[in-house]
Amino acid sequence: MPGIHRHTQLKARRGYRERVEILAFVIGVALMVVGLAVSIALHELGHLWPAKKFGVRVGQYMIGFGPTLWSRRIRGTEYGFKALPIGGYISMAGMYPPSPQATSRSGRAAGGFFATMVQDARDANDETLHGDDDTHVFYRLPVFKRVVVMLGGPVMNFLLAIVLFSILLTGIGLQTATAEVARLSECVPTSSTSSTTAAECADSAPAAPAEAAGIQPGDTIVSIDGQPVADFAEATDIIRSSPGEQLTFVIERDGTEQTLQVTPATIQTEVTDADGTTTTQEVGFVGIGPTVEYVKQPIWSGAQMAVQNVGAVAGIIWQLPVKVWDTAVSLVTGQERDPDGPLSIVGAGRLSGEVAAADSPILNRVAGYLSLLASLNIALFVFNLIPLLPLDGGHVAVALWDGLKRAWAKLFHRPPPKPVDATKLVPVTFVVVIALIAMGAVLILADIFNPVSLF
């Protein structure tokens, strides 16, 4: 039975493709986990290196949270990995000044829950101190050194993003529609959304102007009406703005330049204004499709891309509560999510899996992964600069406030003030942590049940 045998073969091939896609998806997720772990490790190294350089005693350097999977003590610091790869930390001695001597040690501070939290934080901090004269502690560092230590982590993420974007743009290149013609349309469509393949062209449909003028696949457009053309976008702008007007095309074919006369046909297209109003316009059409190639960008393009992404992510972070609320609404109602909204680690992993399983050349998938990982590091950079404890930006704010108090006292010839006791902000830190956990939970649920998809 040839028909049954052929059906069995097709079914087997389809099953094989599905298994390959699943495997590729899993590999993509695993690569994102590894990339995230490297990003976290470098972030914490950004704190560790200057802290040790400035003489601060560092008890632990850990990647992840929860139970310890592996650790080793080297020169007084325990380095290790924990079970949950969702963050990391270093434990520096004397993050805060010693507890006030008058503080009660009875086991529960007066004032209730938050007062107890403050005292617990002070007790934990006191355990890292070696007496009141301990000099290898964080709080005794000059203000600028404390700022350097706390900014070291986010800066490492920013530098890693620059490296990844540089590999993407300069090493691989940016996908660009070039001025080389890859294909020609068979006919003039009735609108910009109509098909122009031979099978779908009506007998009465006029031939596409490019084919009628003698343009061939492989030709490179050099100029149009005397205007040099560097890529397909520039050629498109000239063509669309010249419906019914004869244009002089200079094309290069087999190393020789030729001049052709092409008159763009007039078609209708819908244009949406900035205020959302849709209108119909007449534009020019000649029927050429571009060759898409990776065009390598200048070495500084990676840094430029990183800076541009910082601005975009900062705009999202600024509206994070609203964005998370919108995500929660879309989760409950089943509406489509904002593709430019925030993602959790689960969402980033899913996108990485989709990129790995995509039916596209391997170079495209590598480029997609690098772009995702670089964007994730930009998000880590911006998010950690928020001036709220326990984030790095919160510790920077405390250090700057301490420096401002000292500068004010010096200006008015007053005695140096006591170091700022950030343990008093533990209640605020608690609220921030609860808010972050809640927003993270919403994003994780949304990324599981109503995920953003690239395709």
Alpha-carbon distance 281 to 163, whole Å?
43
DSSP 419: P
To the nearest 10°, report the CA torsion of 265, 270, 271, 273.
160
- Give me 245's structure tokens: 């007007």
Cβ(449)–Cβ(346) under 8 Å? no
Q: At what angle do helices 345-357 and 2-53 cross, to 10 degrees?
A: 140
Using alpha carbons, list the distances in angstroms from residue 445 to 22, 66, 330: 22, 21, 11
- Give me 195's structure tokens: 């098909």
- Of 283, 266, 287, 268, the C-alpha closest to 212 is 287
Alpha-carbon distance 56 to 282, whole Å?
69
The string over 121-154, giving b where at least 16 C-beta atoms fall within 10 Å of a residue's C-beta and e elsewhere, is bbeebeebbeeeeeebbbbbbebebbbbbbbbbb
- Give me 399's structure tokens: 């250090």
- Of 306, 278, 283, the C-alpha closest to 381 is 306
């000059």: which residue's tokens? 142
Strands 247-253 and 288-295: unpaired
Please state whether the peptide bond connecting residue 206 to the residue before it is cis, i.e. omega within 30 degrees of 0: no
Q: Is 193 helix (H, G, I), strand (E, B) or coil?
A: coil
> Which residues are identified as catalytic?
44
- Give me 61's structure tokens: 């350097």
**140: amino acid identity, one letter:** R
**328: amino acid identity, one letter:** A
| Ranges of H-type helices in 343-423 | 345-357, 362-384, 392-411
